[in-house]
Amino acid sequence: MTGKKTVILVAWDNETEALSDSDRQKLADNNIALLYTGIGKNNASNGTNDIVGYYDRVINIGCAGTHTQELETYSRITTFVERDMDCRSFNYAQYQTPEEKYIFINFDESGNFVNTSMDTPLGLICGSGDNTNGYSETSDLIPAFDAVDMEAYAMAKVCMNEGIEFHCFKYYTDKAAVETTIDELIERNLRFPWTQIIDEILAMD
């Protein structure tokens, strides 16, 4: 791994219950920080803004719901959308923040922001919003979300604006809260694949 100053941002401490002492040591040996932002877009945005100027690479790791993926698997996500942004009554597109250019925020596999047309996703889509559903926010443009969370879009947006490398890994614990209890989610987090994800991080250029 290069000498880039790297931080892992996690929203919820339960997401690190399965992080072993040996994996924590791997992070420490490679000078990778692990910080908690708190849950939700505001906390995620504030937490990411707090590290601007201190780190060159931001990695969000967390659990998510999904409409498309198998439970208890994980994916690397490169496209982000604010699924609960809806100002269509003001003649903006669904998911578009008023006066802003992009619906999707896209990053390439190297973690660099990719400037694309407003409605073009480049990879698996994570829809972030301050609720636990996501099904009510699908559309003709996005008939299903690969990942449904509450933070990744906010982190990605800060990194886009600040020119910071951004990566995201999501572990699927539920079908976007459909017939899933918090106890089931917590129990699945005990099998969070931290070792595999850390190995991928350490293999980055």
- Structural domain contains residue 108: yes
44 token code pair: 């995620």
Q: Examine residue 129 and state whether it is found in any structural domain, yes or no.
A: yes
Query: In this predicted structure, what is the pLDDT of residue 2?
Result: 61
* Domains identified in the chain, total number: 1
Listed in sequence order, the residues at least 6 apart from 7 whose beta carbon sits closer than 8 Å to its beta carbon are 32, 33, 34, 35, 51, 54, 55, 57, 58, 59
Asked if the structure places residue 49 within a domain, the reply is: yes
H/E run at residue 10? strand 6-10
Least Cα distance to 77 among 197, 168, 199, 198 occurs for 168
Using alpha carbons, select from 88, 86, 108, 121 the residue that is nearest to residue 165.
108
Question: Which residues of the chain carry a pLDDT beneath 70?
Answer: 1-2, 177
Tokens coding 146: 């690969």
Please check whether residue 125 lies inside any domain of the structure.
yes
Q: Are 102 and 118 in contact (CB under 8 A)?
A: yes
Residue at 87 is within a domain:
yes
> Does 65 map to a domain?
yes
pLDDT at 133: 73
pTM flag (> 0.85): yes
Would you say residue 1 lies in a domain? Answer: no
What's the CATH code of the domain at 92?
Answer: 3.40.50.1580
What range does the domain containing 72 cover?
A: 6-202
Confirm whether 106 is domain-assigned.
Answer: yes
